[in-house]
Chain A
Amino acid sequence: MKLKNYRAYWIGCFVMLVVTLFMLTAVLGAEVTEPERSPYMVYLTDFIEKEILKKILFISILTLAVISLINWIVFILHKIYIEKRKEKLKILEDYFLENVFLPFFSTQKLPQFQLKTSLEFEAFSNCINSIINNITGNLLLLLPELLKKSGLIEYYKKLSNSKNYLIKLEAYERLGFLKSYELKDFFIEKLEKEDDYYIKLQLLWNLSVIADEDLLKTIINTLNRDFETLSLKFVESLFFNIINSLRSSAKESEYIKTLEEIYRDTTIKQDIIKSMIEACGDAHLYQAKDVILKYYKTYNSLKTVCFRALGKLNIPEVCEILPDAFNDESWVLRATAVRYAYLCENGLSILEKALHDLNFYVRKSAAMALLNLGEGALIFIQNMINKTTDRYAKEIAEFVLRRILKNA
C-alpha cells in the first residue's frame, strides 16, 4: 500500500475531524445570550428547553461526524480493494500468457488449465482481447480451440442474464470483444428482447464487428426503428466497424449497394446516412466515391458530410465540387471545403479567397490548410501579407507565417 496514493483521503479525513472538533467545542462552550425577542418570530426555545436543544445539536454533529468518518474509511478500503484486485489481475494475465497462450501458440498443443473464479475469467478474457485487437494472421486461427477449452463464452453468456445492469453490460462487452461470428444469433436474439438503451447499443457494437450483408441491414433497421436520439460519433464507429468487417471477407461492395438502395428512402433517418457516409471517409472506402458524389449533388443537408468523406478519401473528384462547396452559403461547408483545397490545382486561389471570408471559422480553416502546406506556402503567404488591405486576412496570414517559420 503506497501512502501517496491515499494522501488525499487522509488529508480529507484529518480536515473533517478538526472541523468536527471545532464545532463540538463551539457548541459545548457557547454561552448563548438571549436575543431581543421579536413578536413576529417563533423561537425553538419556546417549545424545548435550552439544555435539551444543546444536547440535540451536539448529538447531531457527532452523528454526522461518525457517518462521514465511516464514509472515509469505506472509501479507503474500497480503494485498497480495487488496487489489490488490479494487481492480482495483472499477475493472472501474465500467468495465462506465459503458461497457456504462448506455449499453445508455439507448440499448438492445448495446455491443461481450468478457469474457476471471476477474476480468472476476467484475466483470460483480457489476454484474448489484447491478442484479437493487436494481431492478425494464423495465430488467430488457434483461438477458437482455446476459447472452447476455457468455457469463457458460456461463462459470459450466463452473466449476460444477470439482473445487475453493470454485470450484464460487461458480459456483453466481453463477448463482443471476441469478434466471434458464432455469437451472431445470440446477439440478434438478445437485441430483439432487450429494452435497455445502453445494452442495445453494446449489442449493436458487437454485431458491427462481425457484420455481414444481412447484419448491415439489421443494424440500419434497428438504429432507425428503436433509437430516437443517437450519438453520431458512435453510429459512425458502428459503420466503420461494419466496413472493416465486410472488407475482411472482400464484401465492401455490399455496403455501397446498401448506400445506393437507401438513396431515395426517406424513411431512413438522415443521421444514419450521415454516419454511413462519414465512415466511408474514415475507413478509406474508395469505391464509395460515386455514391457519395450522388448524395452530395442531391441533398443539401448532406453536402458537408459528403465533402468531408471525399476529402478524407484524398481523391481528385473533390476538385470538381470544390468551387460549388466554397461558394455555398453554409459556412460549415465552406470551412470543410477549404480544408481539402490543397488537393486541387486551384487550391491556393481558393485559400486566398477563404482568408478574406467574413466567417472567422472559414478563415481559421484556411490558415490550418496553409499550415499543412508548410514551407511550400511561404511565398504565397508573404505576397498575401504585402498586398492585402484586409486587416483580418493579413493577421491570419501573419499567424500562419510565424507558425511555419517556427516549425521549419
Chain B
Amino acid sequence: MKKILIVEDDRALVQILEIFLKSKGYAVDKAFDGIEAVKKINATLPDIILLDINLPKMSGFEVARKAKENEKTKNIPIIMITALGQDENIKRGYEIGCEDYIIKPFNLEQLTLKIAKFLSVRS
C-alpha cells in the first residue's frame, strides 16, 4: 500500500484528506507542524508528501529543503499546498525542488489524479 504523508496544520483539512485518501486505498500519515514533518519524512520514508507552505515551528519551504537535501528522501515527490494568489510560493517551491503544487481551495478528485500520476512515475 502506497504511503502518503499529509503535512498541514488545519486539522479539519487533514481529517478530510485522510478519510478521502484512505478510501482510495492509500495509507496515510500526518504531521501538523514543520519539525514533526521532518521527523516523519526521515523515519517513515513516505511515497509522496502533501506539504502545506504555512506551517507552525518550521515553514513548508524549510521542510522541503531538508527533504531534498537528504540522500534518502530527495526522490520523494512533494506536492505543495498553497493559497490562491501566492505565485511567489510556487516559484520558490519549484526552486527548492518540489514536483508540483495545488491551490486551495482544491478539488479532491484532482488531487488524487496528481498523486496517482507521481506514484505511477515513481513505481
Contacts and interface: CB of A to CB of B under 8 A. Distances in A.
B23 A94 contact: no
Secondary structure of the B contact surface, majority rule: helix
B105 A282 contact: no
A131 to B, nearest CB: 6
Interface in A214-251: 240, 244
B72 interface: no
B44 interface: no
B15 A97 contact: yes
A98 interface: yes
B11 A134 contact: no
A244 B19 CA distance: 29
Nearest to B107: A137
Nearest to A127: B12
Contact of A282 (B15, B23, B85, B107): B85
Contacts of B13: 130-131, 134-135
Contact of B12 (A97, A136, A282, A312): A97
A385 to B, nearest CB: 25
B11 A135 contact: no
Contacts of B85: 240, 282-283
Contacts of A282: 85
B108 interface: yes
A136 B106 contact: yes
Contacts of B19: 102, 105-106
A131 B84 contact: no
A136 B107 contact: yes
A150 interface: no
Contact of B108 (A97, A137, A244, A312): A137
B12 A130 contact: yes
A106 B12 contact: no
Contact of B16 (A90, A93, A131, A244): A131
A46 to B, nearest CB: 64
Contacts of A127: 12
B105 A102 contact: no
- Chain B interface size band reads 10 to 19
A93 B11 contact: yes
A94 B15 contact: yes
Interface residues of A, number: 25
A90 to B, nearest CB: 7
Interface string B4-28: 0000001111011001000100000
A207 to B, nearest CB: 19
B106 A97 contact: no
A132 interface: yes
A111 to B, nearest CB: 15
Interface string B69-98: 000000000000000110100000000000
Contacts of B108: 135, 137, 139
B114 interface: no
Nearest to A103: B19
A133 B106 CA distance: 9
B23 A135 contact: no
A37 to B, nearest CB: 66
Interface string A75-91: 00000000000000010
A144 B108 CA distance: 19
B122 interface: no
Interface string B28-49: 0000000000000000000000
Contacts of A98: 15
A94 B84 contact: no
A133 B8 CA distance: 14
A285 B23 CA distance: 37
B2 interface: no
Contacts of A93: 11-12
A20 interface: no
Contacts of B106: 134-136
Contacts of B15: 94, 97-98, 102
A90 B16 CA distance: 15
Nearest to B52: A134
Contact of A90 (B10, B11, B84, B107): B11
Given A134-B106, A135-B108, A282-B85, A102 B23 contact: no
A126 B23 contact: no
12 contacts: A93-B11, A94-B15, A102-B16, A126-B12, A130-B10, A130-B12, A130-B13, A131-B13, A135-B108, A136-B107, A137-B108, A244-B84
4 smallest CB-CB distances across A and B, nearest first, come from A130-B12, A137-B107, A136-B105, A134-B13
Given A93-B11, A134-B106, 5 more contacts: A90-B11, A101-B16, A131-B12, A133-B104, A135-B16
Interface of A: 90, 93-94, 97-98, 101-102, 105-106, 126-127, 130-137, 139, 240, 244, 282-283, 312
